[in-house]
Amino acid sequence: MARGQARDFRLDMVEIGRHLYDRKLVVGVAGNISCRLRRNRILITATGICLGKMKDEDLAIVDLDGNLLEGAKEPSSEVRMHLAVYKARPDVEGIVHTHSIYASALAYMKIHLKPVNPESQYILGDVPIVPYFRFGTEELAQAVHERLGNFRGVLLEQHGVLAVGENLWEATYTAELIEEVAKISYLVELLERLERPR
């Protein structure tokens, strides 16, 4: 990969980190982002960093086995989850993992997103729920791989959202759309309960 291309990806990741943080899809040191580079390498956020204050040096490059190739910091604790997706989905070039509030709440309650608007029906489609596994584990990575299939994202029980795309921005927009649909789904669920006879 040309140095200029790698630099562009780094700039995108820093910008996306701030974008997600500003929209409160991540807080503190939660969440992570990655993208596929050439020669089976992955650019991923480092562990324990705030996406809203991320700098170029807060990124690591790993191979598809998770070995650190470049960077002064260890890759995200969720590197296994990202790698499982990249290995299974050659079409995926970007991954965004958020801890967005409404999607996390629905995932915790095992409530599926509802087809509440055209975007949820025609762009997003189904968003499976991945059962709880401890973060950073091979079990979680395997469960995400199995549930994601060819979908654009999954809800992670007690954990948040994983969204994928043909590029970083598409994955970001998918994560935003999942949260928007989760908000509407929450309100619909609430209103349905209020309307039910007692």
* pLDDT per residue of the chain (198 residues) written in tens, 0 to 9: 445 566 789 999 999 999 999 999 999 999 999 999 988 899 999 999 999 999 999 999 999 999 999 998 999 999 999 999 999 999 999 999 999 999 999 999 999 999 999 999 999 999 999 999 999 999 999 999 999 999 999 999 999 999 999 999 999 999 999 999 999 999 999 998 887 666
Looking at residue 2, its pLDDT comes to 46
Looking at residue 39, its pLDDT comes to 86
Is-contact 155 161, C-beta < 8 A? yes
- Determine the structural domain holding residue 181 and report its residue range: 3-195
78 annotated active-site: yes
The arrangement of strands across the sheet holding 59-63 comes to: 68-70, 59-63, 41-45, 32-37, 94-98, 160-165, 153-156, 129-130
SS in 3 state form for 52-111?
A: HHCCHHHEEEEECCCCEEECCCCECCCHHHHHHHHHHCCCCCEEEEECCHHHHHHHHCCC
Query: Total structural domains in the chain?
Result: 1
Q: How many CA atoms lie within 13 A of 181 on its CB side?
A: 28
Looking at residue 159, its pLDDT comes to 95
Q: Considering the entire predicted model, what is its pTM?
A: 0.93
Q: What residue has token string 């990575």?
A: 141
Q: Which of 70, 78, 138, 192 is catalytic?
A: 78
CATH label of the domain that carries residue 121:
3.40.225.10
Q: How far apart are CA 81 and CA 103, in angstroms?
A: 19
First-to-last CA distance in the chain? 63
Q: How far apart are CA 48 and CA 60, in angstroms?
A: 12
Looking at residue 7, its pLDDT comes to 75
